[in-house]
Structure 1
Amino acid sequence: MKLQQLRYALEVYRHNLNVSEAADALFTSQPGISKQIRLLEEELGIQIFIRSGKRVVSVSQPGKAVLELSERILRDVQNIKNIGSEFTDHDSGSLTIATTHTQARYVLPRIVADFVKRYPKVELSIKQGSPTAIAQMVGSGEADFAIATESIDEHIELRKLPCYEWTHAIVVPHDHPLLDCRHPLSINDLSGYPLVTYEFAFNNGSSIARAFQKARIEQPKVALSAADTDVLKTYVKLGLGVGIMAKMAFDPKNDADLQLVDADHLFEPSSTYIALRPDTYLRGYTYDFINLFAPQLTRERIDKMLYMPIEEDFSI
């Protein structure tokens, strides 16, 4: 059994059982991957993947267990490499961060610029996705940590380090009727118009979804759901609907043709977290990046939150 074989099998699984895409991601050939997985299956005496002709169509029950252990083994191997690198080459390596568009576009540029100056030999990669997707990237080892702006409570394998709270705001064109309201804006006012907001805005646990539930209003008409805040603002400018977005993403200079309406009284504050696996060995520069992003998260505090035992609450 070789680590390379485990890596090949995992990569096929991560690419939705598409061997060709896995080969492209690993810069190798499709026949080479297929051969190594077959050799692994022969050695183990089981089928990891179920095939129909030449196509991989699903994962067998024992195959799921093999893939789960393979992921753990490869993660531990990487941790061992990180420990060695920390002492032999502490200021170089790689760091992959998974985050949402809003964070990547409006919060991270200044922090990334500072980090790159401090660690020019660290290969930094930023991957964008939905809150669910970025949590999965960390869980699978594709990213070292995630900067999450919505609830990821369902990913119990991750530890969440709270960073700061942020609020939503309403954006509309300058001639929009909502601006003529003589009373504080309400959820009822918003429900009378099509909305332009995030793809995850009405997921369970979202502060936007909770606000409409509290007002006992069924999910309103959503004219556009976007992952990208800039796309969201573009369609609000075109008059497609009323925008609900992160307040931090409004730039008075670049968004001069939009009017921001404060909505602190409508939506509960949302939290931004750093999400990590507790079994990950963090390089020194990873601690520094997190501290640049959230100054209150010192190395000592990160270790305490990351590695402290989880206390189960059995109260009824």
Structure 2
Amino acid sequence: MKLQQLRYIVEVANNELNVSLTAEKLFTSQPGISKQIKQLEDELGAQIFQRSGKHLSGITPIGEKVIDVARTILNKTHDIKVIAQEFTKPNCGMLSITATYTQARYALPPVLRVFMQHYTDIALKMEQGDSAQCLANLKNRVTDFAVLTDLTDLSEEMIALPCYHWNQAIIVPKTHPLAQQVVISIAELAKYPLITYDAAKDGVDIRQTFIKAGQSANIIFNTADADLIKTYVRLGVGVGIIAKMAMDKTEDNDFIILNASHLFSYNTTYIVFLRSLYLRNYMYDFIYQFSPHLDKKTVNQALSCANNNQILTMFNGVKLTVK
């Protein structure tokens, strides 16, 4: 049994049984991968993959268990290299982050600017995706950290640390009827077409607030992109409901920004990582720079918790920043 064979079966599973795509990603040949998988199956005396002709069509029950163990072994071999590098090259390595649009566009840039100035030999890898993609990247170890709001797909192998709260704001052109309102109600908002976030992608669903108030939200445009919300509000298409931190007082001075904290509950941004991740010192620093209440001691305390419910309880008395 070879590590290479374990890597092949894990990557084939990650790539939805597409051997050709796996070969392309691993810079090797399709016949070479197929041969190594067959040799491993012969050694085990059991099929890992189901086949339909020459194509892989599924994973056998024993294959599921073998692949799970193979993932663990590969992860541990990676950790051995990381541990060695922590002592030999403490300020060298990679920081990979997958974040939802709002976090990637508005929350992370100032933090990463300072981080990269300090850690000049750390390679940064960024990816933007919806909440499900962020957590899928974590599960598949494509990324070290996910920064997001929606924890619907969170699994027990993941650690979620609360970073800060953020509120929504209502934005309208200066000539809009709502521009003169001091306090806006849900009933008043229901009179206008709305442009806001896609709940499926960003985890923020304002519809529930309207339903609880006995109103219907006339949402004409859903998007994860705050800049698109601004664009269509500028066109006069509708009223924007947007993350307050996405508004710039200088660049967005053509809008009236109205408080919505009394209408919509605040959202919480989390930084999420696998419990099995070996946290290097520069990773602790990144977490701390993103959320100063998450120092190394606090992160390690969270890691000692049995599950995420205990972690959330641990932060009950912590007053998070509101953006």
Tell me, yes or no, whether TM beats 0.5: yes
Which residue pairs with 2:197 in the alignment?
A: 198
Q: What is the alpha-carbon distance in structure 2 between the residues aligned to residue 41 and residue 173 of structure 1? A: 65
| Residues 175 and 33 of structure 1, relative CA distance in 2, 3 Å threshold | farther
Q: With structure 2 as the length reference, what TM-score do the two structures score?
A: 0.86
Counterpart pick for 2:235 among 231, 238, 251 = 238
Q: CA deviation at 1:209?
A: 4.3
Q: CA deviation at 1:68?
A: 2.1
More moved, 302-311 vs 118-127: 302-311
Aligned positions of 1:1-316 closer than 5 A: 1-152=1-152, 154-179=154-179, 182=181, 184-200=183-199, 206=204, 208-217=206-215, 220-310=217-307
| Residues 91 and 217 of structure 1, relative CA distance in 2, 3 Å threshold | same
Q: CA deviation at 1:2?
A: 2.0
Q: Deviations over 1:235-271 (max 9, x none)?
A: 3333443222211011122233433222111111111
**Letter of the 2:291 counterpart:** A
State the identity %.
44
Q: What is the alpha-carbon distance in structure 1 between the residues aligned to residue 207 and residue 155 of structure 2? A: 20
Q: What is the alpha-carbon distance in structure 2 between the residues aligned to residue 307 and residue 118 of structure 1? A: 29
Q: What is the alpha-carbon distance in structure 1 between the residues aligned to residue 193 and residue 61 of structure 2? A: 46
**Letter of the 1:24 counterpart:** E
| Residues 261 and 280 of structure 1, relative CA distance in 2, 3 Å threshold | same
| Residues 34 and 177 of structure 1, relative CA distance in 2, 3 Å threshold | farther
Q: With structure 1 as the length reference, what TM-score do the two structures score?
A: 0.87
Q: Deviations over 1:255-300 (max 9, x none)?
A: 3343322211111111111112222210110001111111111111
More moved, 244-253 vs 194-203: 194-203
**Letter of the 2:38 counterpart:** R
Q: What is the alpha-carbon distance in structure 2 between the residues aligned to residue 51 and residue 259 of structure 1? A: 61
- What number of residue pairs does the alignment pair up? 310
Gaps of 5+ in 2: 311-323
| Residues 234 and 123 of structure 1, relative CA distance in 2, 3 Å threshold | same
- Kept in 1, the 8 Å contact 2:96–2:145? The answer is yes
Q: What is the alpha-carbon distance in structure 2 between the residues aligned to residue 98 and residue 47 of structure 1? A: 35
**Letter of the 1:187 counterpart:** I
**Letter of the 2:256 counterpart:** Q
Q: What is the alpha-carbon distance in structure 2 between the residues aligned to residue 268 and residue 234 of structure 1? A: 25
Gaps of 5+ in 1: none
**Letter of the 1:87 counterpart:** F
**Letter of the 1:171 counterpart:** I
- Kept in 1, the 8 Å contact 2:131–2:149? The answer is yes
Q: What is the alpha-carbon distance in structure 2 between the residues aligned to residue 254 and residue 167 of structure 1? A: 20
